[in-house]
Amino acid sequence: MMGTIVYGFSDSPFGEIIVAATAKGICDLQFLEHSRMQAIHELGSRWGVYTSTTIDNEMAETVAGVIFEGLDKPLTIDLRGTEFQIGVWNQLREIPFGQTASYQDMADRLGSPGAVRAVASAIARNPVAMLIPCHRVIHSDGSVGEYHWGRELKKRLLEWEAQVAEEAAAGSALSKGPLRLTVNSSTVPLAEELSNDIFKGELDGLF
């Protein structure tokens, strides 16, 4: 498959992010761990089927505005994964802003209560951070668990969302409802899934 990836960078309250999109929608969103050049290299390693890239920081800034500043603008996501992964990622979108769910909760909601490890593995391969809110999944004992960008960032994200939700409930801030997202999904065999183990630390200490 040939195509073009558009990518851009934006600041956020939690550090710089890189956002990438295909013609079908946003396909990748990560917090930067190292340099921009390293982030671009990692993007290419995940989406090597695309032959060219163009930069569009305005696109990335718009996405950041929707996520972190309450900008009311519809977004489209381009998800590519196995049928099970896409099912898990769509279920993650059902966790309300300011709330959390456990890995077991997620397995139960998917009708597969014995598939906690498989669910955690799918969460670990979520390619679109924040828009697919995998950070809202925690351990059954209430501990936040691992996160690719560190437990501290995961904790800060959850605390920020809880505070915004509390202020909205008290009437001191605008309510942040569900994001207006359209999802385009493409199912691929397991052997062809993206090499995108960005949340590999999620499984550490889960069992």
Instruction: Write down the pLDDT at residue 51.
Output: 61
Catalytic-labelled residue, pool 115, 129, 134, 194: 134
Give 5-196's CATH code, choosing from 3.20.20.150, 1.10.10.10, 3.40.50.300, 1.10.3720.10: 1.10.10.10
pTM score of the predicted model? 0.87
134 is an active site residue? yes
First-residue to last-residue Cα distance in the chain: 38
Instruction: Write down the pLDDT at residue 192.
Output: 52
80 near 132, Cβ under 8 Å? no
Q: Can you give the pLDDT of all 207 residues of the chain as single tens digits?
A: 457 899 999 999 999 999 999 999 999 999 999 999 999 999 988 887 666 678 999 999 999 999 999 899 999 999 999 999 999 999 999 999 999 999 999 999 999 999 999 999 999 999 999 999 999 999 999 999 989 899 999 999 999 999 999 988 888 665 566 788 899 998 877 645 554 444 334 444 443
Q: CB burial class (10 A; 0-12, 13-18, 19+) of residue 53? A: middle
Q: Where are the domains of the chain?
A: 5-196
CA distance 198 to 47: 13
Instruction: Write down the pLDDT at residue 126.
Output: 94
